[in-house]
């Protein structure tokens, strides 16, 4: 995988930490093959061997971890030049990585299939791919021969797992012929507790996520301007950070609306934001390069904290948010419809409460970590049995 936490307090990829922790509890041995960050060496963290391969001098070894690689590549030629040594070093290290493992599960197979295949050939064991969605958009844009090469390599996997029905459809459409199973991730931050819906005296709209184009925060700002005319006391809180922060501040000033940008939050601070809010909004859209929301794990998180959810009807979001059942969906980019639905929930707490009740039931049945880990374990066992026969 691309990036694994650098220390026990790091917030990188919390869902993989949650996943591996659950596998350790089941008595399995787990290792992670990943990149270094500014010279960070191989280490053991909470019982997990984290093998980190070096790919550049310490001072410039920061292609990963600080932000998603696609965002990092937009920051200049330096990072584009790091891609080739990253892939070459990872490939070389994959040839010598040990000890032998029984199962290989490759996350973000573009480009990490290049690391997984040597291990599969050396150890003669099953290899799965986990496609998160964004890498398929990147794959589509590769030159023809390179695109075909990656598809050829990915079709050498024994099984593919994806995070949503949307990602499965895109994977099949792009030419992947390996069997595909939907195995989503659950709430990476909270425990198994489901917090009940509570009517708030102060009405607050909450967004949590990266401040990037695909999140559609501009749509939420325009909707909020409409809402403020009817509900002048409503507050909009945006939790997160990212490259569009200044644009968001500028647009809110142009629209004449007060918006609270809290910056990035985790742990108890993030929990308080959820518990103090009235409604959660995920106004995602498709960005200029074709990326969109492939699942929207944050909607699972919001429901777990007892918040009704309103989200865009696109990508993998409808797997979690079933319109008028587990939340409300609106047409992507339609700020007037979004404003209308936010006001519906602010004015009708009984509707919000029912959506939360059904939403939490859906999360328990489909996105609990026990269910996810049990399904993955059964997939692993099935593949191992085939290799032994």
pLDDT (0 to 100) of residue 186: 86
Tokens read off for 255: 């629209």
In tens, the pLDDT along 195-215 reads: 999 999 999 999 999 999 999
Strand 309-312 with 328-330, pairing: parallel
Q: In the numeric block, which tokens belong to residue 265?
A: 């939050």
pLDDT recorded at residue 191: 64
284 vs 187: which has the higher pLDDT: 284
Residue 71 binned pLDDT confidence (cut-offs 50, 70, 90): confident
pLDDT tens digit string along 307-319?
999 999 999 999 9
pLDDT value of position 341? 98
Which of the listed CATH numbers 3.90.1570.10, 1.10.3720.10, 3.40.50.10490, 3.40.50.2000 matches domain 204-366? 3.40.50.2000
The confidence score (pLDDT) of residue 189 equals 65
388, pLDDT greater than 90: no
Instruction: Check: CB of residue 351 under 8 Å from CB of residue 344.
Output: yes
Model confidence over 338-359: pLDDT tens digits?
A: 999 999 999 999 999 999 999 9
**pLDDT of amino acid 241:** 95
Position 190 scores a pLDDT of 59
State what percent of residues in the chain have pLDDT above 90.
Answer: 92
Spell out the alpha helix ranges (H) of the chain. 14-25, 69-73, 77-96, 109-123, 134-140, 144-154, 165-173, 217-230, 245-255, 267-276, 297-304, 317-320, 335-347, 349-366, 369-388
Annotated domain spans of the chain: 14-187+368-388, 204-366
Q: Does position 174 have pLDDT exceeding 80, yes or no?
A: yes
Neighbours of 182 (CB within 10 A): 17
**From CA 330, how far away is CA 347, in angstroms rounded?**
18
| Cβ neighbour number for residue 118 with a 10 Å cutoff | 18
Choose between 192 and 283: higher pLDDT: 283
Strand partners, 43: 50
pLDDT at 127 over 90: yes
3-class state of residue 317 by DSSP: helix
188 pLDDT above the threshold of 80:
no
pTM greater than the 0.75 cutoff: yes
Q: For domain 14-187+368-388, give the CATH superfamily.
A: Glycogen Phosphorylase B; (3.40.50.2000)
Q: Answer whether residue 389 shows pLDDT above 80.
A: no
What is the phi/psi pair of residue 141, to 5°? -95, -5
* Fold matches, 14-187+368-388 and 204-366: yes
Q: What's the CA gap between 66 and 71, in Å, rounded?
A: 10
Average pLDDT (302-310) is 97
Backbone angles phi, psi at 351, to 5 degrees: -70, -45
Asked whether the beta carbons of 136 and 147 are under 8 A apart, the reply is no
DSSP classification of residue 195: P
In this model, does residue 232 exceed pLDDT 80? Answer: yes
Is the Cβ–Cβ distance between 10 and 50 less than 8 Å?
A: no
Mean pLDDT of the 319-327 span: 98
DSSP3 helix / strand / coil % (the chain, rounded to 5): 45, 15, 40
Q: At residue 65, does pLDDT exceed 80? A: yes
pLDDT tens by residue, 140-158: 999 999 999 999 999 999 9
Spatial CB neighbours of 265, under 8 Å, sequence gap ≥ 6: 239, 273
């Amino acid at each position: 995988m691309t990036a694994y936490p650098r220390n026990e307090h790091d917030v990188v990829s919390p869902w993989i930490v949650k996943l591996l922790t659950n596998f350790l509890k089941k008595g399995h041995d787990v290792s992670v093959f990943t990149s270094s960050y500014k010279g960070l060496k191989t280490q053991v963290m909470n019982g997990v061997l984290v093998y980190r391969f070096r790919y550049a001098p310490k001072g410039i070894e920061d292609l990963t971890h600080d932000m998603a690689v696609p965002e990092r590549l937009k920051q200049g030629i330096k990072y584009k030049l790091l891609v080739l040594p990253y892939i070459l070093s990872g490939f070389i290290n994959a040839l010598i990585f040990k000890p032998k493992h029984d199962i290989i599960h490759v996350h973000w197979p573009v480009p990490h299939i290049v690391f997984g295949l040597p291990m599969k050939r050396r150890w003669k064991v099953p290899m799965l791919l986990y496609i998160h969605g964004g890498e398929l958009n990147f794959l589509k844009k590769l030159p023809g021969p390179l695109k075909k090469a990656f598809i050829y390599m990915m079709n050498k996997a024994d099984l593919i797992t994806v995070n949503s029905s949307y990602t499965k459809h895109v994977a099949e459409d792009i030419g992947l012929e390996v069997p595909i199973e939907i195995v989503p991730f659950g709430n990476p931050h909270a425990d198994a507790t489901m917090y009940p819906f509570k009517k708030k005296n102060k009405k607050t709209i909450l967004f949590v996520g990266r401040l990037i184009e695909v999140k559609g925060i501009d749509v939420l700002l325009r909707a909020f301007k409409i809402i403020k005319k009817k509900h002048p006391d409503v507050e909009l809180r945006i939790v997160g950070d990212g490259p569009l922060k200044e644009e968001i501040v500028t647009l809110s000033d142009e629209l004449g609306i007060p918006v609270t940008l809290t910056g990035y939050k985790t742990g108890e601070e993030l929990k308080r934001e959820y518990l103090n809010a009235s409604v959660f909004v995920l106004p995602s859209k498709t960005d200029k390069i074709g990326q969109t929301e492939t699942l929207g794990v944050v909607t699972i998180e919001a429901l777990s904290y007892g918040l009704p959810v309103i989200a865009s009807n696109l990508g993998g979001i409808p797997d979690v948010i079933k319109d008028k059942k587990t939340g409300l969906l609106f047409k992507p980019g339609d700020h007037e419809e979004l404003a209308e639905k936010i006001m519906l929930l602010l004015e009708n707490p009984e509707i919000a409460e029912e959506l939360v009740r059904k939403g939490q039931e859906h999360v328990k049945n489909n996105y609990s970590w026990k269910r996810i880990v049990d399904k993955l374990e059964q997939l692993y066992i099935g593949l191992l049995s085939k290799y032994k026969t």
